[in-house]
Structure 1
Amino acid sequence: MRLVSHPVLCNYYVTYRCNARCSFCDIWEKPSPYIRLEDVETNLRDLKKLGVNVIDFTGGEPLLHQQLDQFLGLAHQMGFITTLTTNCLLYPKYAQRLQGKVDMLHFSLDAAEKEKHDTGRGVACFDFVLESIRIAKSLAERPDILFTVFRENIDQLEKVYQEVALPNRLMLIINPAFEYNTVDTGAGLTPDQLKYLSAFGKRKNVYLNEAFISLRQNGGNHIADPVCKAASTTVVISPENELVLPCYHLGEKKYPINGQLYQLYHSEAVKKQIALEGRLPACEGCTINCYMQPSFAVEVNKYFWQALPSTLKYNINKGTWKRLFR
């Protein structure tokens, strides 16, 4: 049973450029412009009309865009829940400009050991994460630690929890790694490792969407009976101001927005693409978290019920649910 028919999330790519070289990502390899403020203003109005609640300003590294604080401020004033993930290389520089404008602020940290984290990220950013935590707390911000889990770094999870998350009273978000296109993320998590993560997710101040684990145990999305609702739950906007369908990672179709996002989204061409969500050949076995998360939230099935406890846990802890009633 479908609960919500309109999109709930916008993944707004401010640029594909990045100052890191993460081994599990290919976005930084792409040439890219930066989004324009005038386009953001127009698109946010249309996103509000479409029923979107959450705006994730993403990249690349979103803090490379020098007007990011203006985008976040505008979205926040319009009543959107705002979210931002950063590698922290630039957060100390822009922290004061971002203060009070980000509802869900995520700092990426994949190991408690400096060398291991920096090797995975391709740049020396471990110290910047620790400094960013200190600065954010001094500004009364409540960042989360986003830990992307691979077979090779799962041994670091306990240390990050004990040495970083708990002492700083931060939420630890467990983000199981996923494969896409030709990006090499190494061998997948083993069944025993998935069970370990499932148990770890029940700890205090830890967020793990249990449906992520279940989806992997079930072989991911299946095109014969897709769980993925990426195109109908998530509006993806590129730095070129295009609507990307069915999702960023597949990027089958791109439509210039030209100030008409609302009309474009309801056009016949876009409706045809939305109807193919989760059913394209490349969708078989997909486990991409950023599109499965909203997919689990809009349709009542086993994944909905598996995702619900962790979703409630996070939103109660962060207080983000209050933004929906303002």
Structure 2
Amino acid sequence: MRLIRKPVLCNYYVTYRCNASCHFCDIWEKPSPYINKADVKQNLKDLKRLGVKVIDFTGGEPLLHNEIHDFLMMAKEIGFITTLTTNGLLYPKKADKLKGMVDMLHFSLDFADAQQHDEVRGVGCFDFVMKSIEVAKKLGEKPDVLFTAMNENIEELEKVYESICLPNDLVLIVNPIFDYNAVETGGGLTNDNLNYLTRMGKKKNIYLNEAFIELRKNGGNHVTDPVCKAASSSLVISPKNELVLPCYHLGKKQYPINGDLFTLYKSDEVQNLAALEGRLPECEGCAINCYMQPSFAVEINQYFWKALPSTIKYNRLKGTWKNIFQ
């Protein structure tokens, strides 16, 4: 049963450029412009009309955009919940301008060991993450550590939790890795490692969406009975000011927004393509977290109930419930 029929999330790509070169991601290989303020201002107004609650300013590395603090401020003034994930390289020098603008601020960290983390990320950013945590805490921010769980680093999860998150009273977000396109991620997580993540997810200050685990054990999205609601639960805006459908990773069609996102999204052509979410041949087996998370929230099914306890846990820790129900 469909619970919410409006999009709840916008993945707003401020640029595809990145100052890291993670081996499990290909976005940093893409040439890319930067979004401009006039487009952001108009699009945020239309996103509000469409019913969106959460704006994820993403990339690439979103802090590469010199006006990112202005975008966050505009989003906050309109009443959106804001989220941003960074590798930490630029956060210490931009932190003052970002203060109070990000409801869910995530620092990516995949190993407790600097050398191992930097090898995976393709750049020396471990020390910057540590500095970012220090700076954010001094500013009164409540950042999270975002851990991409892979078979190759699964043993590092508890080390990151014990040595970094607990001493700093940070939430540890566990993000199971996913395969997409031709990106070599090392394959899906083994069943033993999925079960281990479930056990870790029960610990204090750890957020793991248990529906991610069940979805993987069930073989991901199935086109005959799709769980994915990517295009109807979330919108993707590209750095070229295009609406991307049905999702960024599949990107079958890019529609120029031309100053009227509301009308474009409501158009028959866009809605007809959105109706194919989760049903296209490429959607078989998909388990991409950034689209499954909002999908779990808008339809009552087995994944809704699996996701609910961890969702309540995280929003209680972050204090974002009042914003969601405004």
Counterpart in the other structure of 2:86: 86
Pairwise CA RMSD of aligned residues? 0.6
Cα deviation for residue 322 of structure 1 reads: 2.0
Letter in 2 for 1:114: A
Letter in 1 for 2:8: V
Counterpart in the other structure of 2:114: 114
Query: Is this contact kept in 2: 1:33–1:240, CA < 8 A?
Result: yes
Query: Is this contact kept in 2: 1:20–1:121, CA < 8 A?
Result: yes
Letter in 1 for 2:140: A
**Structure 1 residue 8 corresponds to structure 2 residue 14:** no
Determine what percentage of the aligned residue pairs are the same residue. 69
SS at match of 2:316: helix
Rounded to whole Å, the distance in 2 between the matches of 1:103 and 1:6 is 22
Rounded to whole Å, the distance in 1 between the matches of 2:84 and 2:214 is 26
Cα deviation for residue 187 of structure 1 reads: 2.9
181-190 or 54-63: bigger deviation: 181-190
Counterpart in the other structure of 2:245: 245
SS at match of 2:243: strand
Counterpart in the other structure of 1:191: 191
Write out per-residue CA displacement over residues 28-71 of structure 1, whole angstroms, 9 at most, x where no aligned residue.
00000000000000000000000000000000000000000000
159-168 or 187-196: bigger deviation: 187-196
Query: Is this contact kept in 1: 2:179–2:187, CA < 8 A?
Result: no
Cα deviation for residue 323 of structure 1 reads: 1.9
Q: 1:15-164 alignment to 2 at 5 Å?
A: 15-164=15-164
SS at match of 2:155: helix
Query: Is this contact kept in 1: 2:86–2:106, CA < 8 A?
Result: yes
Rounded to whole Å, the distance in 2 between the matches of 1:144 and 1:122 is 22
Query: Is this contact kept in 1: 2:54–2:80, CA < 8 A?
Result: yes
Rounded to whole Å, the distance in 2 between the matches of 1:12 and 1:69 is 14
SS at match of 1:115: helix
Question: 5+ unaligned residues in a row in structure 2: which ranges?
Answer: none
Letter in 1 for 2:68: L
Rounded to whole Å, the distance in 2 between the matches of 1:199 and 1:163 is 18
Counterpart in the other structure of 1:236: 236
Counterpart in the other structure of 2:270: 270
Counterpart in the other structure of 2:301: 301
Counterpart in the other structure of 2:282: 282
Rounded to whole Å, the distance in 1 between the matches of 2:52 and 2:231 is 13
SS at match of 1:166: helix
Rounded to whole Å, the distance in 2 between the matches of 1:95 and 1:8 is 27
Letter in 1 for 2:180: Y
Rounded to whole Å, the distance in 2 between the matches of 1:12 and 1:74 is 13
Query: Is this contact kept in 2: 1:245–1:252, CA < 8 A?
Result: yes
Counterpart in the other structure of 2:312: 312
Rounded to whole Å, the distance in 1 between the matches of 2:118 and 2:264 is 42
**Structure 1 residue 211 corresponds to structure 2 residue 180:** no
Cα deviation for residue 325 of structure 1 reads: 4.8
Letter in 2 for 1:299: E
SS at match of 2:2: coil
Q: TM-score, normalised by structure 2?
A: 0.99
